Structure 1
Amino acid sequence: MKVLLIWPILPNSFWSYQATLDMAGLRATNPPLGLITIAAMLPPEWELRLVDRNVRFETDEDWDWCDMVLISAMIVQKQDLQELIQQGVASGKKVAVGGPYPTSVPEVALDAGAQYLILDEGEHTVPLFLEALERGEERGVFRSAEKPDVTQTPIPRFDLLDLDAYLAVTLQFSRGCPFQCEFCDIINLYGRKPRTKTPEQMLKEFDALYEMGWRRLVFVVDDNFIGNKRNAKMFLRELIPWMQAHHYPFMLITEASLNLAEDDELIDLMVQAGFRMVFMGIETPDMDSLAVAHKEQNTRRSLIESCHKITEAGIQIMSGFILGFDGEKTGAGYRIQQFVEETGIPQAHLGLLQALPNTAMWQRLKREDRLYQEVDSSGPQKSLMNFEPTRPLQEVVMEFVEAFWQLYEPMAYLKRTFHHFSRMGSHRPPSQYPLTQKEWRLILGVCWRQGIVRSTRLRFWWQLLVMAVRKPNLLFDYVAALAFGEHFFTFRHEVRSSLVSKLAQLQAQPVDESKDLPSVESPELVH
């Protein structure tokens, strides 16, 4: 069997970092970890080609070569997923589809014409799919309610990737999360009992990347890296000597719940293992909204103190925030903005609340007859809410637009990032590897845009000098954080335009996108 594995296009979003990638000469943020993990489960005699359409498009020769097309997708890839399925069917190929979006809403892939749906987790459903092919079955939907033992998961096929195209390579240590946030679909997909790989497994994956010459960011893409704290500590205790012996070749990023701040030992182990950044779902500083969302783990101690403690230990925080919770009071967007400024968090992932299929929130709103449309695959920054909120929709949306606009005003971002890194502890272990050519391109691009072209120039050079003198071992991370800002400076225009337009369409009013819209400093900085 000749199989073409395809990862659909990811539309421009909070996570795409397009302007940042352009500066560094990169093509995409992360590779499709799910696809290359599934690839390792397929028969070794099969011939495989992987096409990440965010890096390059498949060719006519690719289509002619393959017997089967295997596609994985998230909800934001819905449109490209449907078109790829239709193209595969029209080309006379077998089309197999999997991933989180088809698992949640299988009807979309079936309606587009996919013959095989490999749903849920591949360790259980890929063998079912392969058995069906052996029997000559032309169609099938393969599901398993049982959660697999991830200690049996093979090393992903990193060799299928064009590694040089990516900002960060992805690995996974665990699946699942012990909490029960009402709006989150992770517990629906992967359960509330975190399942972890063994330290030996993870070190083999690190070895594989190291041997392939990778020396940049590694994103451990767990839904909650500390969901099983005992196993996380066991892994970190094994990872630390590996990183020391290899002179810290990777800068590590992961996702974790804010209760990390309650465990001093765990924080210290993460810092010593080389974790530089952690994404945390803070959601909102409003305690009432956290209670409504069943996010009790964020209510046990001061959110600001928790953030400061993690930052002071030497870990940069990236955070998630949401507007639109039931019972939310007017001014929630401004309160989030104040919180971000006080903590100095550079990248605040602010989005409008969406009811995701099959979540507890989805089921509740369905019972209350408040769902009024499918989830918009444009993403939480460019989509209206897909349910009736408890306060006027226009009020929520315009608060969001204003908060997002102000958070990513260039000068405000520059000051906030400096504040965050000034508070950050500087005792993290240093890497002994020189910067790569792409990293130097990134640094020079930031210096040009923020230090010469933009009106931030004086502030930029002053802050850079202070950081170089006071915390030289944090200097690259600081400049990289400023580089990520370049994406948001332009993306905020796209966010505002999309939401104002959709709100006007909903209200059947003419759109005036230029009203109160600050002018951009330099046209060439806008995509």
Structure 2
Amino acid sequence: MKALLLWPIMPNSFWSYQETLDVAGLRATNPPLGLITVAAMLPTSWEVRFADRNVQFETDADWQWCDLVIISAMIIQKQDFCDLIQKGVALGKKVAVGGPYPTSVPEVALNAGAHYLILDEGECTIPLFLEALERGDETGVFRSIEKPDVTQTPIPRFDLLNLDAYLAITVQFSRGCPFQCEFCDIINLYGRKPRTKTPEQMLAEFEVLYRMGWRRYVFVVDDNFIGNKRNAKVFLRALIPWMQQHDYPFILLTEASLNLAEDDELLDLMVQAGFTMVFMGIETPDVDSLTVAHKEQNTRHSLMESCHKITRAGLQIMSGFILGFDGEKPGAGRRIQEFVEETGISKAHLNLLQALPNTAMWQRLKQEGRLQDFISAGSQTSLMNFVPTRPLEEIVTEFIETFWNLYEPLPYLKRTFHHIQLMTGKRPWRKPRLTHHELRLFLTICWRQGVVRSTRFRFWWQLAIIALTKPQLLYDYIVTLGAGEHFFTFRHEVKNQLETQLQALRTARSHEADLASPSATTVYANVN
């Protein structure tokens, strides 16, 4: 079998860092870990070609060569995902799909013409798919309610990647999360009982990346790295000596719940293992909204004190915030902005609340008749896909203003400096390993933020202070300012697209109001 593995285009979003990548001469933020893991599960007798369409498009020769096309996707990639299915079918190729998006909404892939749907977790369903091929089945939908033992998951096919194209390489330690936030689909996809790989597995993956010459960010993409704290500590205790022996070759980042602040030992182990940044779903400083969303783990202690504790330990925080919870009071955006300024969190991922398919929130809103008839792409440029409890226009207007203010260049620089100053914990010393990508990014930042923009005096003053007082954090500081280049640009796209959608909504409502009048209806009919 000749299989062509495709990863669809990621539209511009908060996570794409497109402007930053362009400046640094990189092509994509992360590779598709799921797809290259699937590649490792295919029979060794198969020939495999791989194309991350965010890095380089597949060729016509690739399409002619293959017998089978395998496509994975997240919801934000839905347009290119459907286009690729239709292209494969039109060319007479068998098309198999999997990943979070078709697992959540399989009918989309079926309607696009996919022949095989390999859903849920591949360790369980890929064998079913391979058996179907052996039988000669022309189509099939393969599902499993069983959760696989990830200690049997093979090392991903990192060799398929053009490593120099990425900002970070991804690995996975665990799947699943013990919490039950109403809006989150992770427990639907992976369950509430976190399953973890062994330390030996993880170190084997790290060793492969090390031997391939990778020396930048490694993103441990667990949805909650500390979902199983005991196993996380076991892994970290094994990782620390490996990192020390290899002179800390990687800069580690991950995702974790805010209750990390409750465990001093775990915090210390993460820092000593080389973790420098953690993404946390803070969502909102409004406790009532957290309760509505069933995010009780964020209500046990002061959000502000928890963030300060994690930052002081030496971990830079990237955070998720949401507008649009049921019962939310006006001014939620302003309160989020104040919280972000106080904590110094530079990269605050602000989003409008969306109902993801099959989540508890989706089911509740469906029963209440508040669900709209579309599935949001999950980007900051999409309106909410349900009827909120306060006026939609009020929420969206507040969102636009807050997102714009968060990524005003001067406040962003001040916030980044404040966050770095809060980081007083002792990190392991890592010898800087600079490539032409870092040099390009640094020179562009110096020009744009230190010369062109009104941030110039603040930029040079802050840079000098960090270099003199916290040289070990200078790399983190520069990269965070580099990320700002994406946000400074992306906020214009967010504002323009949401305002356009709001105007279209107002126009539609105006037409509906006109049509409600008998005389207006007659006039409208005559015009058309």
TM-score by length of 2: 0.96
Q: Distance in 1 between matches of 2:407 and 2:215?
A: 30
Displacement of 1:507 in angstroms is: 1.3
Aligned partner of residue 193 in structure 1, secondary structure: coil
Question: Per-residue CA shift, 1:457-515, capped at 9, x if unaligned?
Answer: 111000000111110110111011000000000000000011111111111179xxxxx
Write the deviation string for residues 241-273 of structure 1: whole angstroms up to 9, x where unpaired. Answer: 000000000000000000000000000000000
* SS in structure 1 at match of 2:317: strand
Displacement of 1:333: 0.5
Tell me by how many angstroms 1:432 deviates. 2.6
Alignment partner, residue 505 of structure 1: 504
Q: Which runs of 5 or more structure 2 residues have no equivalent in the other structure?
A: 510-528
- The aligned counterpart of 1:519 is none
User: What corresponds to 1:399 in structure 2?
Assistant: 398
Q: Is residue 286 of structure 2 the alignment partner of residue 312 of structure 1?
A: no
Between structure 1 and structure 2, the one with the greater Rg is 2
Alignment of 1:283 with 2:273, yes or no, is no
Write out per-residue CA displacement over residues 52-93 of structure 1, whole angstroms, 9 at most, x where no aligned residue.
000011111111111110000000000000000000000110
> What is the CA distance between 1:302 and its match in structure 2?
0.5
Partner residue in 2 for 1:60:
60
The structural deviation recorded for 1:434 is: 2.6
- The CA distance in 2 between the partners of 1:319 and 1:227, in whole Å, is 17
- d(CA) in 1 for partners of 2:313, 2:432: 23
How far 1:437 moved relative to its partner?
Answer: 2.0
| 1:17 maps to amino acid | Y
Counterpart in the other structure of 1:429: 428
Confirm or deny that 1:297 pairs with 2:297.
yes
2:40 matched to 1:36? Answer: no
Q: 1:169 aligns to what SS in structure 2? A: strand
1:171-225 deviations in Å (ceiling 9; x for gaps): 0000000000000000000000000000000000000100100000000000000
Mapped partners of 1:488, 1:495: distance in 2: 10
Q: How does 1:122-141 map to 2 (within 5 A)?
A: 122-141=122-141
The C-alpha deviation readout for 1:407-466, integer Å capped at 9, x for no partner, is 000001000000000111251012235312211221112111111111111110000001
How far apart are the structure 2 equivalents of 1:431 and 1:420? 20
- Residue type matched to 1:435 in 2? L
SS for the counterpart of 2:434 is coil
Task: Quote the Cα distance in structure 2 between the aligned partners of 1:245 and 1:392.
Answer: 57
Conserved in 2, the CA contact under 8 Å of 1:3 and 1:69? yes
The answer on 1:12 being equivalent to 2:12 is: yes
Post-superposition CA distance 1:84-114 (Å, at most 9, x none): 0000000110100000000000000000000
Letter in 2 for 1:273: A
**2:519 counterpart residue number:** none
1:446-485 → structure 2 map (5 Å cutoff): 446-485=445-484
Does structure 2 retain, via aligned residues, the 8 Å contact 1:354–1:380? no
RMSD: 1.1
Matched, 1:93 2:98: no
User: Judging changes above 3 Å, is the alpha-carbon distance between structure 1 residues 53 and 217 closer, same or farther for their aligned structure 2 residues?
Assistant: same
Determine the structure 1 residue equivalent to 2:331: 331
CA contact (8 A) 2:7 2:72 kept: yes
Whether contact under 8 Å (1:249, 1:433) holds in the other structure is no
**Corresponding residue number in structure 1 for 2:227:** 227
Which letter maps to 1:446? I
Whole-Å separation in 1 of the counterparts to 2:502 and 2:5: 38
Deviation at 1:316, TM superposition (A): 0.1
Amino acid at match of 1:423: L
Q: Which amino acid aligns with 2:399?
A: F
Given that residues 314 and 425 in structure 1 are in contact (C-alpha distance below 8 angstroms), is that contact kept between their aligned partners in structure 2?
A: yes
1:160 corresponding residue in structure 2: 160
Superposed CA offset, 1:98-148 (max 9, x none): 000000000000000000000000000000000000000000000001100
Is 2:103–2:119's contact at 8 Å kept on the other side of the alignment? yes
1:523 matched to which residue of 2? Answer: none
The range that moved more, 54-63 or 177-186, is 54-63
| Letter of the 2:352 counterpart | L
Asked if 1:262 corresponds to 2:249, the answer is no
CA shift digits 1:288-338 (9 cap, x unpaired): 000000000000000000000000010000000000000000100100000
Corresponding residue for residue 444 of structure 1: 443
Q: Which residue is equivalent to 2:194?
A: 194
One-letter amino acid of the counterpart of residue 397, structure 1: V
Distance (Å, rounded) in 2 between the aligned partners of 1:61 and 1:237 = 48
**Contact 2:215 / 2:433 at 8 angstroms: preserved in 1?**
no
Deviations 1:153-186 (A, max 9, x none): 0000000011110000000000000000000000
Q: Are the aligned partners of 1:247 and 1:433 in contact in 2 as well (CA < 8 Å)?
A: no
Listed as ranges, the matches of 1:346-357 within 5 Å are 346-357=346-357
Give the Cα–Cα distance (whole angstroms) in 2 for the partners of residues 150 and 275 of structure 1: 23
CA contact (8 A) 1:16 1:28 kept: yes
Per-residue CA shift, 1:314-371, capped at 9, x if unaligned?
A: 0000000000000000100100000000000000000000000000000000110000
Give the structure-1-normalised TM-score.
0.96
Structure 1 counterpart SS, 2:252: strand
How far apart in 2 are the matches of 1:200 and 1:154? 12
Task: Name the counterpart of 1:322.
Answer: 322
Which residue pairs with 1:516 in the alignment?
A: none
Runs (4+) of structure 1 moved beyond 6 Å?
A: none
SS at match of 1:40: helix
Equivalent residues of 2:117, 2:142 under 8 A apart: yes
Alignment partner of 1:508: what SS? Answer: helix
Amino acid at match of 1:364: R
> 1:426·1:471 contact (CA, 8 Å) conserved in 2?
no
Q: Equivalent pairs: percent with the same residue? A: 77
Tell me whether 435-444 or 380-389 shows the greater mean CA deviation: 435-444
Amino acid at match of 2:397: M
Note if contact 2:430-2:472 (Cα within 8 Å) is conserved in structure 1: no
Name the amino acid aligned to 2:8.
Answer: P
- The separation in 1 between residues aligned to 2:143 and 2:466, in whole angstroms, is 53
Distance 2:151 2:380 in 1: 36
Which ranges in structure 1 are unaligned for 5 or more consecutive residues?
511-527
